[in-house]
């Protein structure tokens, strides 16, 4: 997308320099070491959250009570980890020792797994609140023991978790989502009517062109008038500042 944006700038004679130091907001689907590295190399002020950023956001601490049928279910925070004894204590008071071959590598993280026996969980009166289904043998609990995330990944996570990062990322919803809502609701593209990826791409681009033309029709003249008015005022107060 950055490369296509640069090409669009080139087509109107502005060149690559216009994408440098620009703010780019993308959703979690774009979070990867490759994309973050590319943004850094292109000198882009990127805001791309990882898949777990909402779990770390204090504003979503009350999310659980708004999800139907989950008020009585145990969550990760209902368990306690004893660092000295290296065990986990479940809400029922049972001790979960480290599992056999406990260390598990997952991407850039290493987790240690804890769980009790099948017999203990089967006899527990709180089983229905703890396990996802009757077929589950026991409840697993994982503790993060090591992380070898690249600096570019760690830097972006810290950036998104900052108050400024959260404020900037919130703007994405107001910028991007109304476009999809307009195309789907007002332009009535609630499903594609063609087959093959090539034809679907053409149909989507045609709808995007219509969306942009409506924007230009509705807001283009008004923006041009406002810009001309500001230019006249600037010339009046500082004639030497503008040609």
CA-closest candidate to residue 25, choices 152, 167, 209, 149 = 167
Q: Does the pLDDT value for residue 241 go beyond 50?
A: no
pLDDT in tens, 146-165: 666 778 888 898 999 998 99
Higher pLDDT, 89 or 18: 89
H or E, element range at 10: helix 2-11
> Average pLDDT, whole number, for the chain?
80
C-alpha 5/C-alpha 22 separation (Å) is 11
pLDDT in tens, 158-204: 999 998 999 999 888 888 888 989 999 888 898 999 899 999 999 99
The tokens of 98 are what?
A: 């480290």
Give rounded-to-5 percent helix, strand, coil for the chain: 55, 15, 30
Higher pLDDT, 108 or 82: 82
- Residue 215: per-residue pLDDT: 85
Q: Are strands 109-114 and 98-106 parallel, antiparallel or unpaired?
A: antiparallel
């Amino acid at each position: 997308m950055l490369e296509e944006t640069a090409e669009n700038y080139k087509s109107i004679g502005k060149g690559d320099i216009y994408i440098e130091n620009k703010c780019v907001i993308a959703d979690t689907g774009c979070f990867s070491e490759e994309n973050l590295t590319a943004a850094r190399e292109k000198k882009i002020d990127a805001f791309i959250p990882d898949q777990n950023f909402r779990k770390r956001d204090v504003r979503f601490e009350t999310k659980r009570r708004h999800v139907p049928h989950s008020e009585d279910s145990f969550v990760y925070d209902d368990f306690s980890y004893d660092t000295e004894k290296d065990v986990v204590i479940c809400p029922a008071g049972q001790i979960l020792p480290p599992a056999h071959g406990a260390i598990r590598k997952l991407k850039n993280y290493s987790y240690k797994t804890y769980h009790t026996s099948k017999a203990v969980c089967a006899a527990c009166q709180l089983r229905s609140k703890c396990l996802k289904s009757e077929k589950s043998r026991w409840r697993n609990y994982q503790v993060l023991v090591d992380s070898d995330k690249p600096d570019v990944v760690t830097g972006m996570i810290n950036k998104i978790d900052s108050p400024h990062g959260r404020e900037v990322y919130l703007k994405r919803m107001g910028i991007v989502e109304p476009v999809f809502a307009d195309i789907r609701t007002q332009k009535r593209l609630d499903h594609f009517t063609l087959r093959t990826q090539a034809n679907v791409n053409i149909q989507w681009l045609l709808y995007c062109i219509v969306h942009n033309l409506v924007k230009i029709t509705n807001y283009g003249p008004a923006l041009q008038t406002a810009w001309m008015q500001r230019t006249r005022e600037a010339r009046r107060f500082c004639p030497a500042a503008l040609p």
